[in-house]
Each structure stands twice: as C-alpha cells, then as structure tokens.
Amino acid sequence: MSQFSAYINYLSLEKKYSPHTVIAYTKDLEVFSEFCLKTYDSSLIHDCGYSQIRSWIVFLLEEGVGNRTVNRKMASLKSYYKFLLKTEQIKVSPLLKHKALKVAKKVQIPFSVKEMENVLGELYFEDTFEGVRDRLMIELFYATGIRKAELIGLRVSDVDLNNNTVKVLGKRNKERIVPMVASLNRCMRDYLSKRSEVMITADCGNLFLTKSGAKVYNSLVYRVINSYFSKASSKLKKSPHVLRHTFATHLLNEGADLNAVKELLGHTSLAATQVYVHNSMAKLKETYQNSHPRNIKT
C-alpha cells in the first residue's frame, strides 16, 4: 500500500478535490519520494527535514524547472505535511518557515470584443451536430465564464431554458446558478434539437457529446476553442481559460460589480477575482480621464 493512500482518500473524500488535482498532488509527492530514495536511501518523506526539501528545490532549479512549477510542488508538499499534522503523524511541518520563490506576474491577455465578434458573428459554423455544438461551447464559455471541467461536467438536467439559467457544479462540488443571455438560450435550443438526433451512449446524461454519443473530453474542448480562435486571433494562447478571462474582463470593462463577477465565476474569495481588474485597468483609466470633474476641459 502506498504511503500516500490515506492522504489521497482525504483529498478525494473530505476535501473533495477534483481527480485532476489529486493526481497532480500525488505525482509531486511520488517524484519527491523517488528523489529521497536516490539521494538519502529512504522514500518515507514524512521523516524528511527542510534540508532534504531544500536540496530537492536546488536539484529542480538546476534541471531547469521554473520557479512557478517549483512553488506548485512545494504547495503539494505543504498540503501533505498539513495532513500529517492533522493526523498527528508529525509535530512540526518541515515547511513551516519556507518562503515561495519569486515569480514574474503572469498576465493573461483576454480576447478583445472585436475578436469575439469575429468568431461568433463572422465565422461559419456548419449546421451539423458538431458545428452547432462547437458554437454552443464558445457561446457558453463567453456568456457564463465557466471552467472547462465545469462545461464537460454539465448535464442536460442542469439547463433551465424557461428560466434562462444553468446550474454549474464547481470546485469542491459547490453549485452555483448562472444566468443565460438570449443568444445563449437560442444556441442551447438549437443544440438540444441536434443532440436528440445523436445515438447516445447508454445512460449518458451529459450535455456535451461527441458525434458518437459519448461524453466530450479535455483535449476535444481545447481543440474546438483553439481551432476557431486561430482563424480570428493572433494571440499565442487560445484556450477555454482565456475565454473565462475574457468573460470577466469584458464584464468589468462595462462596469459590472466585482462581487457579482466573483459569484458568476464561482470564486470563494474576492482575491481570486481581483486578478481580472488588471486586465480592465486601461478601460478604468479611460473612464476616469473622461469623467473626473478636475480633468474635464471647459
């Protein structure tokens, strides 16, 4: 049995982390365990002190691993040691006084309004199941700001066309209700009509399907977004996550309340939402320059 079995169950069952997060955390622990075995002849990382952890950090940096990735691995270790403290397997975390490595701030550049109009207003979507589905994916990302995993997890029963809402199951199984704009409602109706013609895999109640009737998957969703936006944008990154940023930035640019955007995005803290304020700062400055009484020329 793995030394991490109880911890994995804790993350999955008690903390309700997504399978993707659990796998990532476990992988980091296993890699550190292998390093300890090769370097210190012991793979039991609960016996490690900070000197061993620091030597792993040095090793990673010398291997060309970036500061951001190292910090992520330290976060995995820190989470594990917190679990060991909670279960009274250790008395002090070896990472108690560890400070994260400095990283350059990552600025996510959203799509412009013009780029969104180019995709949704000018690009041709075939009137087939896949064409209508692809358009709905883009409309849904842009109109609601949901995450890729949330879109993949949507079920037909989550959609309420009469009340113009979508029920979204977010991180840690937290549900939120997101409103639908009229254009999204129309796309949803078109897609559901096409979906009813697909031979669906048994008991698959998921909203988004492949043409063979199975649940869509990560790489397919990414490929759809990248494909269409490659025709309308020169930005290097074209992904569902950029659409999430675009949703938040465009709302804030039009004067939406930060707390309202926080609720729509499914963030647990306002700090997570404030990153989008940086994207809308240019618009804010323009509004300030044009509106402040001391700056208006007579």
Concatenated DSSP letters of 277-291:
HHHTHHHHHHHHHHH
The answer to whether 60 and 53 have CB atoms below 8 angstroms apart is: no
CA atoms within 13 A on the CB side of 2: 12
**Burial of 119: CB neighbours in 10 Å, binned 0-12, 13-18, 19+:** buried
Q: Report the C-alpha gap between 85 and 260 in whole angstroms.
A: 37
Q: Report the C-alpha gap between 172 and 187 in whole angstroms.
A: 29
Enzyme catalytic residues: 147, 171, 241, 244, 267, 276
Is the C-alpha dihedral spanning 241, 182, 260, 16 positive or negative? negative
Bridge partner list, 202: none
In order of 60, 120, 261, the CA distances from 143 in angstroms are 41, 12, 12
- Among residues 279, 197, 213, which one has the least CA distance to residue 242? 279
